Structure 1
Amino acid sequence: MVEVARTTTRGNRWRTDQVLLGCDYNPEQWPRETWLEDVALMQEAGVSLVAVNIFGWADLQPTPGAYDFDRLDEVVELLHQHGIGLNLGTGTASPPPWLTTAHPEVLPVTIDGTTRWPGGRQAWCPSSPVYREHSLALVEQVARRYGDHPALRLWHVNNELGCHNSLCYCDVSADAFRAWLAHRYGSTDALNRAWGTSFWSQRYGSFTEVLPPRLTLSTPNPTQVLDFHRFSSDALLEQHLAEAEVLRRHSDIPVTTNFMVTAHQRDADYWSWAPHMDVVANDHYLDHRLPEPETELSFCADLTRGLAGGQPWVLMEHSTGAVNWQPVNLAKEPGEMLRTSVSHLARGADALCFFQWRASRQGAEKFHSAMLPHAGTDSATWRQVLELGALLRSLPDLAGTTVTAQVALVFSYENQWAADAPARPSEDVVHLDQVLSMYAALRAAGVTVDVVRPGAPVDDYRLVVVPHLYLVRDHEATVLERFVDRGGHLLVTFFSGIVDEDDRIRSGPYPGAFRELLGVAVDEVHPILPGTSLALAGGGQARRWSEHLRLAGATAHRELAQGPLTGTPVVTRRHHGHGSAWYVATELDPITRDALVAEVCAGAGVDSEPGAGADVEVVRRAAPDGTSEHLFVINHGAEPVSLPADGHEVLTGQPVTGTLHVPGGAVRVVRTPEEPS
């Protein structure tokens, strides 16, 4: 088993002098006569980074031991001749049919014990030594052949690791899980203490008795499930590290893999992955299953920037229009592709890449949008692609600039695993919904947000927001207590501080680790039934959650005016040291929530961007030396907005003096000073 963590942080080793427009290209789907047309159109659009060989295994190795690089050689040279850089995939994302036929033990097994078969993609177990051996043999061939190619700009390991196969319950995974547990705990006595196995007669006498949390007749052990998520994330990371080690033996080109920082990816702990990347890259698609897709997009872009340590990052995939995997795959409205692309750009991306270049005619993704759609170049999509390419070329000094925030929001993947486990007080309360709710309120307040992991340094922020942080370690809580003591402002929401890293309830009243800091004591939680709410004194509604809360040093700010807990505080504030700590013991309706967050921001001295709001994003990127700044305004609403600005607006080419006018649905980017030096 590869030891994943605890290697030296590599930092951002990838740099570009110009913001890049890129794409995912699958030339193996097209005849050779199409390739020349493709590269010519890429040049017209301004494409300068192309991902190839993402799913190339069966093409490069059609039979065991036999490699054929003729087609990839031709494509690589064609792109190079046209001045287009390579984001070269290792080709290992989906094994070819010959491998799974010869070695069916490679195939993943789901929680109910059934095998998942080839015919889709990623039909492999992350712990399989057979898959590992064959995949690394392919990487060795690719790295030797292209490691010093002059067109190579970036190595792309695998693809969306764990998108479909993140949790495997096969016997091979069971053995790997046992080894991971033995390394983590050292003894079964320590494991039994951590998992609380005295409950329901689950005590283990040896690690050989331990299984993955396969489908059970009743609720499984929550800490066993939590550790299995941790193990599974590490197993996927091990595959990345193994491939990256081969690449680095043959090449000094930066190495990354494409994260899936989205609402629907919950199985990889990217906080533990990010330090191993030469540059953080992400795939993100607008998710119309969510009530506020643009809010989730902005949050994910800010989280990706947080994973990158505040440095620029790569948007490896997004879409020009509809995807193919949602129940209803909505096309983007006119102007929406530009708005969503620029939202990523504003929040730190130095490359905007699409899946894919040319829309496929066959296969599972034939209805997925592309830069070059089925309709061809005489289409609205193509004209929008040209518009985006022109915008990026008009920003010659944006690359390398960064975003500065006065507010941090704490987010943890392992907390999400623990907080959303079965047998919690209310399944109507979902962790990410609570995170996005607080983020939406900050966005409505016109506040730029850094997303940080628990325990990260926060002294440079004026306000730290901690939504629904159910699982917290002692030292992570101490960081926040010191922050408030030194003059910082803290906002914590319900069901936070409840358990330690082993999902063990902290003794005493809730909110456990934050009880003294917040100055409240909760005797019992009182979930509110779905579809109902309780009135608040002075107006507003409490939803999904309430608490039998008493003050223990804090003062009441809002109280319940309805139900069995009438008169009980639901919003409190405590002055602690030189700062203050707020607690919200319910889910507030959006209007009340937004008003509270705006009040807290004002009290913390947080500067809001004039003109920003729920439908209008206003974000700034500045050069590290302070020589230039770009003001991004993205108006998702139908009505025009005006806000103060001075400089040069790059889309219209017009100077801005005093006031910037942004039509409904439009994007504006103002550079200060007016021209690049």
Structure 2
Amino acid sequence: MSYRPFSANWFTGSRWEGRIAYGADYNPEQWSRSVWDEDVRLMNEAGVNIVSLGIFSWARVEPEPGVHDFGWLDEVMNLLHEHGIAVDLATATASPPPWLAARHPEILPVDRQGRTLWPGGRQHWRPTSPVFREYALRLVRVIAERYRDHPALVAWHVSNELGCHNVYDYSEDAARAFRSWLRSRYGTLERLNEVWATDFWSQRYGDWEEILPPRLAATFPNPTQQLDFRRFCSDSLKDHFRAERDVLRSVTPAVPVTTNFMVMSNAKGMNYADWAGEVDFVSNDHYLNPGPRALDELSFSAGLTGGLAGGRPWFLMEHATGAVNWRPVNKPKKQGELGRDSLVHVAHGADAVCFFQWRQSRAGAEKYHSAMLPHAGEDTETFRAVKELGGVLAELSAVVGSSRARARVAVLFDWESWWAGELDSRPTWLLDYRREALDWYSALIELGVVVDVIPTDVPLERYEVVIAPVLHVVPNELSERLHRFVEDGGHLVTTYFSGTVDEHDHVWLGGYPGALRELLGIRIEEFGPLFEAESVELDDGSTGTLWTDRIELTGEDVEVLASYRTGDYAGRPAITRHPRGSGSASYVSTRLGVVGSERVLRTILDRAGVVSELPEELRGRVQLVIRHDARRQYWFLINRTERDVELAEVAGTEIARSARSERGGATSVIPARGVVVLEKPR
């Protein structure tokens, strides 16, 4: 990854320099002019110092082709600046206006069944449409030239949540662009036929024009074709981002450019590890997934965003004050969760905390989505919590610009393994890549261990223990890096269905786990996936689900940490550890869940000499995340429980807390659903 050398503080040279950015998407075009004055008054009251503006304003800014109306936007920009509020200004290209689709229906996406996705929602455009690109870039240049010198402008916001609804387009534009992408990747048809294994099922291509996107087929489409199409779709959206970014840079080279990623469990289409080096600073949107591990998933996603940012500060562009509106049931957040969730992102490196949106919409598809200022107005629990959070963030000015302290343990996350491992025509369709990664992350938190989440291109030698769950796609270069990591003293833990294929989805021959077979000192002849209701017992007391493997030990010194007690492979190894060089490589052949993963980790961490920095009584109840600068550490202590937790034996000076305990102003506890931040010398 590489980043342009912009300051980590988005407010450099402004009255807000040294402050955490705090705000929301602002959509004043939905409201009458009289409301705007109330908005800026309440923003100041809440401590808001930045807004994302103009995201869905194309139809307002350009009501007909080539005719622009900037009067309202000029007034809003000036009003915000007068009240000390900075602007992250959008390019307004996220949702094309009705006139564009009416005049050029060829910009509309097509799904895999050949159905056109019509206007009426948002993101109704093809990433590969040259017509859409022409109109979009023309608008971007006009906006950039108009506001290039506006004092409120601190950053550019390209489009919005690229690929949220249009990542997979199967149109003729996409087919032409896919062929061009394949020509660039493979050079010749002969090479493509080899990589796609087209002699299977008589798929051999004799002309580039014969190649199509993997549209609806009679049975499973070619798996390498599917994997390449996913790569192509991510690249197509990235290319559109770069096209808008480059226009902005040509007009305003000193203004940083970003776009909001969606690093969360349901955002699978974009390889953000590949995108991260294209933005001037990483931004992310995250919405809490309901369920018993919602907080861990939030922390996991924030940690992965920090990993994508290379430990540098990043921008939380959107999250929710309360309920969202797109799930079958949309529950509000509990008291304290608004502040807690925000500070979890700050713990993982966010120097900006923003919401969707400032004022809750009165009409439209997101009118029941929560906001900083709800339908009921300022005399509400939500707005009081918003103001309280503004005060807390002001207290955290010392952390601005600090980096996330590197942990000794990391969970490796790989988008291509996510894509390929969950394709059809696999041993099981029940595999859930992110769930397995989250299991290991939660297990480490239960043990009180500080953990990073990193993409595969991060240097592994920074860590002592690396967990690589379901690392299905292992190119030769990654295999060599993992071997070196272990030989040089690192401790690797990987799982079932890892090391199985190369970057072309070709199986590494000679037995599983393929590219990692020698490193792990095992050989697997046949997978043993389990039905949804099946489970197996291990002799260490763990229960396994989803998968089993028939393991043969090939290394003389392989240690069996646990064996199967029940199931088809009863008596055979289930979990192994292979000392190599000055490190070790361990293999887990079944889904253990959080509790079972803890058992394995206790052994591995003990052998690696990794211990928790938390007192034993806090482990599991509290997650520790650390940021630091040249002189100080900032310990973020996150209460994972519904009860107050005593802060026993933890030294440091308290500089902020997300909420007060029900016991009053007591500083000796972390309140239920709360976060306490301590400052320590480094």
Say which SS state the counterpart of residue 47 (structure 1) adopts. coil
Say which SS state the counterpart of residue 240 (structure 2) adopts. helix
2:544 pairs, out of 534, 542, 545, with 542
Q: Does 1:621 align with 2:623?
A: no
Partner residue in 1 for 2:164: 163
Q: What are the residue-to-residue correspondences of 1:579-658 with 2, within 5 Å?
A: 579-611=583-615, 612-623=618-629, 625=630, 627-641=631-645, 642-651=647-656
Partner residue in 1 for 2:58: 57
Please report the TM-score for the alignment, with normalisation by the length of structure 2: 0.95
Check whether the contact 1:21–1:351 (CA below 8 A) recurs between aligned residues. yes
Partner residue in 2 for 1:10: 4
Partner residue in 2 for 1:574: 578
Report the CA distance between 1:333 and its aligned residue.
0.3
Check whether the contact 1:447–1:607 (CA below 8 A) recurs between aligned residues. yes
Partner residue in 1 for 2:664: none
1:624-665 alpha-carbon deviations (Å, 9 max, x no partner): x1x2222111213123323432332234799xxxx9422322
Give the root-mean-square deviation of aligned CA atoms.
1.6
Match of 2:65, as an amino acid? P
Q: Does 1:208 align with 2:216?
A: no
Partner residue in 1 for 2:83: 82
| Cα pair distance change 1:376/1:8, threshold 3 Å | closer
Match of 1:236, as an amino acid? L
Check whether the contact 2:440–2:594 (CA below 8 A) recurs between aligned residues. no
Partner residue in 2 for 1:112: 113
Task: State the distance in 1 between where 2:673 and 2:248 align.
Answer: 44
Report the CA distance between 1:455 and its aligned residue.
4.2
1:487 pairs, out of 486, 489, 493, with 489
Q: Does 1:32 align with 2:33?
A: yes
Say which SS state the counterpart of residue 650 (structure 2) adopts. strand
Check whether the contact 2:396–2:656 (CA below 8 A) recurs between aligned residues. no
Partner residue in 2 for 1:287: 289
1:509-548 alpha-carbon deviations (Å, 9 max, x no partner): 1000110111111011111111221111142211111011
| Cα pair distance change 1:46/1:212, threshold 3 Å | same
Q: What are the residue-to-residue correspondences of 1:195-274 with 2, within 5 Å?
A: 195-251=196-252, 252-274=254-276
Partner residue in 1 for 2:43: 42
Partner residue in 1 for 2:315: 314
1:585-639 alpha-carbon deviations (Å, 9 max, x no partner): 111143222122233222212231315544422211111x1x2222111213123
2:408 pairs, out of 406, 409, 424, with 406
Task: State the distance in 2 between where 1:455 and 1:102 align.
Answer: 44
Task: State the distance in 1 between where 2:6 and 2:583 align.
Answer: 34
Gaps of 5+ in 1: 1-6
1:336-364 alpha-carbon deviations (Å, 9 max, x no partner): 11111111011110000011000000000
Task: State the distance in 2 between where 1:203 and 1:383 align.
Answer: 64
Task: State the distance in 2 between where 1:291 and 1:173 align.
Answer: 40
Q: Identify the range of structure 1 (271-280 vs 401-410) with the bigger mean alpha-carbon deviation.
A: 401-410
Q: Identify the range of structure 1 (271-280 vs 404-413) with the bigger mean alpha-carbon deviation.
A: 404-413
2:669 pairs, out of 637, 661, 666, with 661
Partner residue in 2 for 1:418: 420
Q: Does 1:441 align with 2:443?
A: yes
Please report the TM-score for the alignment, with normalisation by the length of structure 1: 0.95
Partner residue in 1 for 2:343: 342
Q: Identify the range of structure 1 (192-201 vs 12-21) with the bigger mean alpha-carbon deviation.
A: 12-21
Partner residue in 2 for 1:3: none
| Cα pair distance change 1:116/1:387, threshold 3 Å | same
Task: State the distance in 2 between where 1:14 and 1:369 align.
Answer: 29
Check whether the contact 2:89–2:156 (CA below 8 A) recurs between aligned residues. yes
Partner residue in 1 for 2:430: 428
Report the CA distance between 1:79 and its aligned residue.
0.2
Check whether the contact 2:8–2:313 (CA below 8 A) recurs between aligned residues. no
Say which SS state the counterpart of residue 650 (structure 1) adopts. strand
Task: State the distance in 2 between where 1:291 and 1:503 align.
Answer: 35
Q: Does 1:367 align with 2:368?
A: yes
| Cα pair distance change 1:94/1:523, threshold 3 Å | same
Check whether the contact 2:418–2:434 (CA below 8 A) recurs between aligned residues. yes
| Cα pair distance change 1:225/1:12, threshold 3 Å | farther
Say which SS state the counterpart of residue 587 (structure 1) adopts. coil
Match of 1:269, as an amino acid? N
Say which SS state the counterpart of residue 323 (structure 1) adopts. coil
Say which SS state the counterpart of residue 339 (structure 1) adopts. helix
Q: Identify the range of structure 1 (302-311 vs 9-18) with the bigger mean alpha-carbon deviation.
A: 9-18
| Cα pair distance change 1:269/1:145, threshold 3 Å | same
| Cα pair distance change 1:13/1:671, threshold 3 Å | closer
Task: State the distance in 1 between where 2:424 and 2:352 align.
Answer: 39
Task: State the distance in 2 between where 1:666 and 1:158 align.
Answer: 34
Check whether the contact 1:610–1:643 (CA below 8 A) recurs between aligned residues. no
Report the CA distance between 1:392 and its aligned residue.
0.7
Aligned residues: 661
Partner residue in 1 for 2:377: 376
Q: What are the residue-to-residue correspondences of 1:92-131 with 2, within 5 Å?
A: 92-131=93-132
Match of 2:622, as an amino acid? V
Task: State the distance in 1 between where 2:105 and 2:458 align.
Answer: 43
1:137-172 alpha-carbon deviations (Å, 9 max, x no partner): 100110000012111111000000000000000001
Task: State the distance in 2 between where 1:438 and 1:482 align.
Answer: 23
Check whether the contact 1:13–1:279 (CA below 8 A) recurs between aligned residues. no
Match of 2:649, as an amino acid? P
Match of 1:502, as an amino acid? H
Task: State the distance in 1 between where 2:62 and 2:381 align.
Answer: 39
Report the CA distance between 1:61 and its aligned residue.
0.3
1:42-85 alpha-carbon deviations (Å, 9 max, x no partner): 01111111110101100000011100100000000000001110
1:543-598 alpha-carbon deviations (Å, 9 max, x no partner): 11101101111221100011221111111011100111111011114322212223
Check whether the contact 1:348–1:621 (CA below 8 A) recurs between aligned residues. yes
Check whether the contact 1:454–1:472 (CA below 8 A) recurs between aligned residues. no
Match of 1:400, as an amino acid? G
